[in-house]
Amino acid sequence: MVDYLIIGSGLAGISFSEMALRNSKSIMVLDNNSQNSSKIAGGLYNPVILKRFSEVGQAQEHLLIMNDFFIALKDKLKIQFDYKLPILRKFFSIEEQNNWFLACDKVNLAPFLSTKLISRKYAAIDSPFGYGEVLQTGYVDTALLLNKYKEYLISNKMFLEHPFDYTLLQEEEGFVRYKDIVAKHIIFAEGFGLHSNPYFNYLPLDGTKGELFIIKADALDLDVILNTSVFILPLGKGLFKVGATYNWADKTDRPTEEGKAELTERIKEILKCDFEIVAHFAGVRPTVRDRKPLVGTHAAHSSIHILNGLGTRGVMLGPALAKALFEKIEYNKPLEKAFDIRRFDKRG
């Protein structure tokens, strides 16, 4: 018997896996690589919603948990995957500058927004109104992290690669059984695959398709993450990750000509240099209608739990929400109402 059977090895799945292992719990992880949104994600962590100049809820607490989590994980896996880089918000008018400095005066935003106008000129980018700098930001190489963590799980005989068959899950007194695996608890962290889950498919997980590029632009001199109508993230050697589109209708993970045209047009509006599209990715983000994650225990099945709906902020939310769910299961610590799935049923 293991303590936890975890379905899914994206950001949510590995966050819970690692939280359990650090607390001396045994785990088994199942995945079939049917969902790829975590691997192709931009991987940014940013405590501010820049469209509205508002704070992401509990941002400071989540960043502290995330930083501690990743520092320990870097030592464990012996890889570098977390890069601290400022995010610069390009201003398009004096009005945007003024709105920025008004936001800087808000108590909850002051730790995250620099009061200094950045006027540095970057080659191939016009910026007559300058930039605002977001603090405590960076990005995670999610593909590297997830691949290395999977290798770690495999080497320790804690990973099985095959599709999960929900019809074979049995709940008995104090544990669940799946084929020859017996576990005290099962955690569903299957991303957009939730729609096939009979225990939790009543939850309003919409899914939002996003498409991204890797481009090569040798003339672009950029050592920060640029936020405009898209983000531009430097990868080194003249390569940049650029994204992302938002499509609420298409639920496939196939790159499209429409997405390619949209991203290409946006890049041309920003960059005054030639660029080459090196790679084109797509994935369906696990997003929720109220823009809040899905965390909690099934109303009728005390051993069946969910960690999903991290949306575009999986890097920053994953460790904190995994910790919250673990403490709820092990110590009966209440979940925050904002992300507890009870908000969608009569218990809430």
pTM score of the predicted model: 0.94
Do 244 and 301 lie in a common domain? no
* Residue 237 falls inside a structural domain: yes
First vs last Cα of the chain: how many Å apart? 32
Do 213 and 329 lie in a common domain? no
Task: Assess contact for 183 and 305: CB atoms under 8 A.
Answer: no
The count of domains in the chain is 2
Q: Write out the two tokens for 49.
A: 């919603």
pLDDT tens, residue by residue, 55-99: 888 999 999 999 999 999 999 999 999 999 999 999 999 999 999
Do 199 and 299 lie in a common domain? yes
pLDDT of residue 346: 58
Do 126 and 20 lie in a common domain? no
* Residue 57 falls inside a structural domain: no
Do 279 and 155 lie in a common domain? no
Task: Assess contact for 135 and 88: CB atoms under 8 A.
Answer: no
User: 205 Cβ partners below 8 Å, 6+ apart?
Assistant: 192, 194, 195, 286, 287, 288, 294, 308, 309
Q: What is the mean pLDDT of the chain?
A: 94
Do 119 and 212 lie in a common domain? yes
Residue at which a domain ends, from 239, 256, 285: 285
Residue at which a domain ends, from 236, 265, 285: 285
Q: Is the pLDDT of residue 140 over 80?
A: yes
Do 252 and 315 lie in a common domain? no
Do 161 and 259 lie in a common domain? no
pLDDT tens, residue by residue, 217-266: 999 999 999 999 999 999 999 999 999 999 999 999 999 999 999 999 99
Do 179 and 259 lie in a common domain? no
CATH code, domain carrying 238:
3.30.9.10
| Residues of the domain holding 109 | 86-136+208-285
Do 273 and 324 lie in a common domain? no
Strands, E assignment, 52-117: 54-55, 82-84, 87-90
* Residue 61 falls inside a structural domain: no
Do 212 and 95 lie in a common domain? yes
Do 130 and 214 lie in a common domain? yes
